[in-house]
Every structure is written in structure tokens, then in C-alpha cells.
Amino acid sequence: MLVLVTYDVNTMDAAGKRRLSQVAKYCVKFGQRVQNSVFECLVNASQLKIMQNDLLGIIDIEKDSIRLYNLGVKYQTKILHLGAKETYDPGDNLIL
């Protein structure tokens, strides 16, 4: 399934800047950054649960927020890309 991960981390102090970096580095393990605080992650149900728990361990729930949108397995019909930056298919192999 494709999960869209969006986050807003309070960076008013050094700890917030560290959390922001940690969230981004964590999300890279599961998917592709498509905008500054937005990742598309191709995961299964158990990976999604792990991801939720791990992200809760990184953020400060009093200051930060993360939203996870489950687009399912037929995600291609739910994504409309407009504007700059080439789109990609999360199911394809990425060459690093």
C-alpha cells in the first residue's frame, strides 16, 4: 500500500531541529521525499504499524504532528501531479 506521510515539527529550538532531521531520515528508509515535509512510502500493514510507533518515539506530541494517509494498493488512480518535478512510480525500482 502507498502511504503519504506529512509532518510538521516545531523547530523553535535545537531539539526541534534535531527531531525534524530524525523524522526525515527515518522516512527515507521507507519511501521517497516528494516535497519538503512529505514522503510517499510503499509499505505493508506491519511496516505501517512499525512506522507509526517509531515516529511517535521521535516526535514531541505536544509540539509536533504527523499525518499518515493510506492511499491503498490502487494508489495510481488517486494521485494527480501538477507542476514542476518529475513524478515517479513508487512501485518501480529506484537507482541510487
Q: Which domains does the chain have, with CATH numbers?
A: 2-78 (3.30.70.240)
Task: For the beta carbon of residue 41, count every other beta carbon within 10 angstroms.
Answer: 20
Tell me the pairing of strands 31-35 and 38-42.
antiparallel
> Could you report the per-residue pLDDT of 49-69, keeping only the tens digit for each?
999 999 999 999 999 999 999
pTM value > 0.75:
yes
How much is the pLDDT for 84? 79
Length of the chain: 96
Distances (CA, A) of 36 to 11, 21, 24: 14, 11, 9
Neighbouring residues of 6: CB distance < 8 A, sequence distance ≥ 6: 37, 38, 66, 67, 69
Residue 77 clears pLDDT 90, i.e. is over it: no
Q: What is the pLDDT of residue 6?
A: 96
Mean pLDDT estimate for the chain: 88
